Amino acid sequence: MPPARSLGRLRRIAAITPSLILVGCVQEGDFGRAAPSAWNRLVDTTGSLAASAREEPSSDFALTDDERVLRDRAFRFLMPAAGYDVFTGVLANLTRSRVLPPDWRSDDPEAYHRGLVGGPFRSPVSRYRQLGEDASADARLIPSFAATALRVRDADALRLRGLPSAKTLNDDDVRQAAMRVAENRCLVAWVRLEAGLRVSRYRYALEHLVAEVPEAAEAVSAERSLGFLDGRRALLDPLLPRDAEARCGLFPTERPEAALGGASAIRPVAPLMRKY
């Protein structure tokens, strides 16, 4: 039988989640992040409870300043990159906030292209420019995200070094600390995964634009923006081991071979952090 604490969390999730699914639109702020509103805090709190109920890393500890900034800067990469309908936005926000598990979605490389060309536009040139602006905006955010992730990693290392010698911490304190470290690492892994997927989605869109409505000068400019993003994306590689995304369970369960680079790459992986 689940412990009383878990049962209480499940009851709270059951009570809150239906209303979130009905009106779960995120309230967006500036610089591609969630607005600091009571509604968004409710969504994020419910997501933490849902993640904990699924036995994913989730800590009750308060966030440090850098941990909060890390989550703000992750926001853009965990939401769709182009125009999308309300229902898609709701599902994306519920996934970003972990009300829904991140591995329920399979990657859709065509989604960005559909959003890019789905609405009315006067000239194909505007679609090329939108693609270039989106890729460049992503690229400009990566260095600040990586710098924050490094500070969080250093703080987590200090946290873990202090656990064995701490005299006043009980088992739950130790577990909460370990879960926060795993939570932080898996967030960085998720952003790294999504940044790579964005390069693929932008590439798909560019190739289809060239085939559908060729504009030589605009295609070259969009290609440069895409190269800028791909180069900046490499800043995320040293932050975690190469298999961190798999350890965090971020790959779609129905297509693990695609996410890992082919069936031959599939192998059991240890959790990123041991459960306490």
Nearest to 19 by CA among 96, 92, 90: 90
What pLDDT score was predicted for residue 111?
87
Q: Is 60 exceeded by the pLDDT of residue 31?
A: no
| Alpha carbon separation from 233 to 123, 145, 180 (Å, rounded) | 30, 11, 25
Residue 239 has pLDDT above 70, yes or no: yes
pLDDT (tens digit per residue) in 196-217: 999 999 999 999 999 999 999 9
Residue 81's CB is within 10 A of a number of other CB atoms, namely: 22
pLDDT, tens digit, for every residue of 37-58? Answer: 554 555 555 555 566 666 676 7
Taking the whole predicted model, whether its pTM rises above 0.85 is answered as no
Sequence ranges of the domains in the chain: 4-255
141-184 tens-digit pLDDT: 999 999 999 999 999 999 999 999 999 999 999 988 998 998 89
Confidence at 14, pLDDT banded by 50, 70, 90:
very low
